[in-house]
Amino acid sequence: MRLLIYTGKGGVGKTSIAAATAIHLAQAGRRTLIASTDQAHSLGDSLGLPLDGRVSTIMENLDALEIDPMEEGRRAWGNMRAYLKEIIAEKADGGIAADEVLLFPGLEELFSLLRILDFYDEGRYDVMVVDCAPTGETLSMLRYPERLSVLADALLPAVQGMNRALGGLISRATAVPKPRDVVFEEFRQLVKQLDRLQGILRERETASVRLVMTPERIVTDEARRSYTWLQLYDFGVDAVYINKIYPEKALGGYFQGWIGVQEETVALARESFPQQRVFLLELMEQELRGIPMLEKAARQLYAEENPETVFCRETAFRIEEEQGTRIFIARLPYAEAEALQAVKEGGDLILSFRNETRRFHLPEPLRRRALSGWTYQNGELRVRMDY
């Protein structure tokens, strides 16, 4: 199943473009599902039809749903959540709302993405179009799997062993309930599912992340930063959509100044994403809502183009050798050298950019080497590894 994941700054029209793409694919005969994982759903509004957590048929070859993050959270970690809630309720004397405390930014949306595995395994659809949360939330949830995996591998066995040996004693001494084994097993299964999902999302032939923006410099700058973060986590971005471009006939008088701004922004986007396919969509004469208007937008976007195409297969990382020195190269365009940091910790390489951190489990030939320095040039972070 082909996966097309749409994200972008709030208000740029990613839901409308995702919906137009899904309609175009369905009309081309592809069995298509469009799903919203954004907690603030607007997919039903865009289609002009009521949607809920169940799959609804919109038209021939097209189904849609708005995934309920809370329900998916109960499916994914219901036992662990209940245990944590029990601890909080015990210690807080009813002074705080446990449900609110147990809201972790990005985690509920990530549980929504786990539904992809269900549809992937069913094989009912040729393409799944995902209307994702705004970029910041998307990046927040995409980093969870690796962090939870480290927790499961490094900490969980020790905690479970301690629980078996001393759990009853600790429970009697502190009034903290002893967790059941099902809590630990549920967490292990959750991590396995998230690892599998991440593997699918990183497969360039299967999944493509697509950035939606508008022709404004502040939005373009955020799209560039988002692309850098997505490269840091090795997700394939193959297309960029510039939405709400004012037609030339509308840019007279008061709006005359927008002509130069739009031209500069579109040129900057093409320079910033030279290997990605850049789609342009003019501001429509009516609100982009309802199937007829979405069909019209799709015709303007794609003409004879197939949106299912993998437009770019650019990889984020590679390893080279120079005179006996191995170099780990991460492509991070639009980063700033002073905001980057590289550290080797055991067999892992840790790269940091601003407030994002990525841990790489190094292949065996590099694990025995020491980090001897790094440089940032031409949009690439080059980390030198020597004996």
Q: What is the pLDDT of residues 138-179, one digit of tens each?
A: 666 666 666 666 555 544 454 445 445 444 444 444 444 455
What are the tens digits of pLDDT across the range 1-55? Answer: 999 999 998 889 999 999 999 999 999 999 999 999 877 788 999 999 999 889 9
317-386 classified as CATH 1.10.3720.10? no
DSSP line for 82-139: HHHHHHHHHHHTT-S-HHHHT--TTHHHHHHHTHHHHHHHHT--SEEEEEPPPHHHHH
What are the tens digits of pLDDT across the range 9-20? Answer: 888 999 999 999
Closest CA to 5 of 207, 182, 164, 196: 207
The pTM (predicted TM-score) of the whole model is: 0.79
Domain residue spans in the chain? 2-70+109-140+199-302, 317-386
Q: What is the CATH number of domain 2-70+109-140+199-302?
A: 3.40.50.300
What are the tens digits of pLDDT across the range 326-383? Answer: 999 998 888 889 989 999 988 888 888 887 778 787 877 788 899 999 999 999 999 9
Q: How many Cα neighbours within 13 Å face the side chain of 31?
A: 8
Closest CA to 75 of 122, 117, 111, 125: 111
